[in-house]
Structure 1
Amino acid sequence: MEKAISHFTLNQNSVFSLVFFFLIYSPFSLHAQQEVVEKSYHLTTGDGWYRIVKGTVFTSCKIRIHGINDNNKVTDLTFYVSAMAYDQGGNISIVNNQHYNQNHIDEIRSGTIIENNSRKYAIDVHLVNLDGDTDLKIEAENRVSLVNTPIFNPIPIPEKGLVSISGKSLGIASTRYPIYLGNKVGIGTTNLGSWKLAVNGKIKAKEIKVSTDWADFVFSDTYKLPTLEEVETHIK
């Protein structure tokens, strides 16, 4: 009986330890407890990629980017992002995307980089429509490492472990379920080219309907072909 009670106590303590660990270290509790840090930047290098976050191991946090360009173009973008330094993917979920005149941000990417033989996670934003100098303010939970100066056009994040959202609308992206939302849609690829839909893989569908302005009705079984005499008269 004593052994049974001791065994039960050990299991109970283990359960309590796991619950305590979850409550303290789960992403939900971290989001609730984390303070917000803020950094302001003055960008003069124009359109391109900017690395705004770089750190070790992993991060899961909320980031807000507020940009002003020439006092008449304003971007306000908020997103949750998780990134890892071990090529294991992550997630980007945009929860707010407002802009006046033109949006400054058309793509976000996160993933693993190698720097000085050390693996790190990085978060980049792609800025466009910058006609001049731009003031950028970034607010983020303090467990993410905001860089002191955004790195302009850094070495791209390798495709392995890359998470990306392209387009100027709300979306969710994951390397495990890769969906890229915007004016174009890419599944399994960020190289959309001029296509509205690009799929890197096979497609299975019950039905696909293609609609054009061509005169496809001439191929119908009920269509009555004109006689040769009618064709001759039409040509003349």
Structure 2
Amino acid sequence: MKKYLLTMFFALAVTDIFSQIHTDQNGLKTTVINNIQANEAQARRYEVATIGYNSHHWQFGGVIVIELFQHSFQTGYEKYILENGHGQGANSGSAVLKLVESDGIGHNAKVTLGTPYDLGTNYSDKANMGLPVYVDVRFYTNYKVKITYLQNRVETVNDQNQIKINTSPIGVNIDDFIPVVRPSKDLVTIGNLKIKGNGLNYIEEGTLGIGTTDTKGYKLAVAGNVIAESVKVKLQGAWPDYVFTPSYKVPTLQETEKHIKDKGHLPGIPSASEVKANGVDLGDMNAKLLQKIEELTLHLIEKNKQLQEQKLLNNNQEDRLRKLEMTINKK
């Protein structure tokens, strides 16, 4: 009896330990992998799972969630979504791996996909494939890995809709790497999008379109009206003060008149058709307009000199006439 009770106790203990590693909630399964770690400063790679899928047909549970929990000297958490279904890795393209969440300050691990290989079996004349899944760890850190899946868990992958999970994987040395920190998932909402914070809010890379998805390579594209209390444009090119340098050749009024008659617009200023097709660069246009204002200012200064000279000439002539009249009147 005592021996029987000990056997039952041992069996229940093993079952309890096993159940803590694997859970199954109405077909949604999770497995927590034993501790994986870097070899001090040496980065290591662990094959945590292998997925069996068919190379063409619909997949059952093509989405797998992989979570990385750092439990060493810093806080760190990463959540990956692996999509490997019809149209993504199965019958076309490759499996898609996305980092969708990243928290904490210590990020020293990442999920990596291996190269798919033929399992040597098939379903409806289409080959079944295997896809290795790795977790890479670096710089003295330890990680727990949690995998959530719908596939059938097996010890040997040889068919579709299967997954083999290595609960105690053996690491191999790899070159050091730069961990992925920023999520790669698109942010999509049909409600209001609000970014609020007391610190610096910015879009570090890429482009921003408002009312349009085609930014045409510009950092900001707006399809519609924009209102602002102040707009500051900082040019990287030269500001048109060069017009006032002695070496600058100011177009004559005759040259400008001829260009207007021939082209229908000022020299150096885009035509209406060009503006309609290509838009207007505010900084560049302000510089061009200032250039024309400065050229016009030089023309006005020159005309003013001519007027002053003409005025002086007229005054001299008036003095001569007045003196001549006085001489005639004396006679």
Q: Which TM-score applies when normalising by structure 2?
A: 0.35
Which has the higher Rg, Structure 1 or Structure 2? 2
Return the structure number with greater relative CO, CA threshold 8 A, min gap 6. Answer: 1
Whose helix fraction is larger, Structure 1's or Structure 2's? 2
Q: Which TM-score applies when normalising by structure 1?
A: 0.46
